[in-house]
């Protein structure tokens, strides 16, 4: 099986490029491979990231695909004022090799969600999804940036509510039209695309709510970043809450302004860090 250019949700295949490629054998099991820009370098350490202090922004920003030792990644993210706010583990069953083939594996990788200082409106200028090849709590050799976001907000998923601001000002019809366009271009298969708002509301009904949300960005020639037209939403249900979705989380990519949405990752064992629990105004 070659997973490089498609995502499978159950029996539905979604072909895409960019932020890594994933393969799902079933709706409840995540199987992932990395894209060519990250091949062979998702060998990261999750436990070593401890970002408790704020620091000024730096021009040496971490871009998607940037990898480093745990010490170096911590240094870079600290220099940007980042703090580790939540974490989880993703199960990998297939991994892409340098020659483009896939190798069967069965391992857990850690995901760490970070953001900078929140302003009085609860918005952080920058946030990241950091990916590791070892589960949270197990030391490895490198850390890699999987996603970079701007205008990041953090929410308390333990509260039985779905913040209206996490929804998109669009309609199911507009999202369906965008899904049709993407399917016609061969970017996705139509059945794997849904309306962002419907996806968020359906997950909220089973206790999986928006934990973090921000705008995907692309780097300009002058080193600055601008939104790339993607809304990145992390949903989660905290671990040890004794529900059927105990600790389950997902990362969704939604096209703006239409709201066509794709599921990108599934992870488990989700929890806030002590930093988030003690310091973030939106997580009390």
For helices 196-205 and 172-184, angle between their N-to-C axes, nearest 10 degrees:
110
Say if CB 255 and CB 230 are below 8 A apart: yes
C-alpha atoms less than 13 angstroms from C-alpha of 113 in its C-beta half-sphere = 29
Task: State residue 202's pLDDT score.
Answer: 94
pLDDT at 22 over 90: no
Closest alpha carbon to 60 in 68, 50, 52, 49: 68
* Parallel/antiparallel/unpaired status of strands 21-26 and 209-219: unpaired
Task: State residue 52's pLDDT score.
Answer: 40
Cα 252 from Cα 231, distance rounded (Å): 8
Cα 181 from Cα 143, distance rounded (Å): 36
pLDDT at 39 over 50: no
pLDDT at 19 over 90: no
**What is the per-residue pLDDT across 218-227, written as a single tens digit (0 to 9) for each?**
999 998 999 9
pLDDT, average across residues 39-61: 35
Task: State residue 241's pLDDT score.
Answer: 61
**What is the per-residue pLDDT across 161-188, written as a single tens digit (0 to 9) for each?**
899 999 999 999 999 999 999 999 988 8
* Parallel/antiparallel/unpaired status of strands 67-68 and 143-154: antiparallel
Cα 3 from Cα 10, distance rounded (Å): 14
**What is the per-residue pLDDT across 119-156, written as a single tens digit (0 to 9) for each?**
989 999 999 999 987 899 888 788 899 999 999 999 99
pLDDT, average across residues 61-83: 90
pLDDT at 197 over 90: yes
* pTM score of the predicted model: 0.78
Say if CB 54 and CB 62 are below 8 A apart: no
């Amino acid at each position: 099986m070659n997973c490089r250019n498609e995502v499978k949700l159950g029996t539905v295949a979604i072909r895409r490029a960019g932020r890594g490629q994933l393969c799902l054998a079933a709706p409840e099991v995540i199987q992932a491979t990395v894209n060519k820009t990250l091949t062979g370098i998702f060998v990261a350490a999750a436990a070593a990231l401890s970002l408790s202090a704020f620091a000024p922004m730096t021009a040496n920003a971490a871009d998607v695909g940037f990898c480093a030792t745990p010490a170096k990644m911590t240094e870079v993210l600290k220099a940007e004022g980042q703090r580790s706010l939540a974490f989880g583990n993703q199960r990998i069953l297939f991994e892409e090799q340098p020659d483009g083939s896939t190798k069967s594996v069965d391992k857990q990788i850690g995901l760490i969600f970070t953001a900078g200082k929140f302003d009085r409106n609860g918005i952080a200028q920058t946030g990241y999804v950091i990916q590791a090849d070892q589960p949270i709590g197990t030391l490895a050799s490198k850390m890699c940036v999987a996603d970079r976001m701007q205008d990041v907000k953090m929410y308390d998923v333990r509260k039985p509510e779905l913040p209206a601001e996490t929804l998109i000002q669009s309609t199911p019809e507009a999202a369906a039209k965008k899904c049709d366009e993407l399917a016609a271009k061969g970017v996705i298969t139509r059945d794997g695309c849904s309306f962002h708002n419907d996806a968020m509301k359906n997950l909220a009904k089973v206790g999986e709510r928006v934990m973090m949300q921000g705008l995907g960005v692309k780097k300009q020639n002058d080193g600055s970043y601008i939104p790339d037209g993607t809304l990145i939403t992390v949903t989660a249900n905290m671990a040890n809450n004794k529900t059927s979705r105990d600790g389950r989380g997902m990362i969704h990519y939604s096209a703006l302004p239409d709201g066509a949405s794709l599921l990108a990752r599934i992870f488990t064992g989700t929890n806030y860090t002590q930093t988030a629990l003690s310091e973030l105004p939106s997580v009390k």
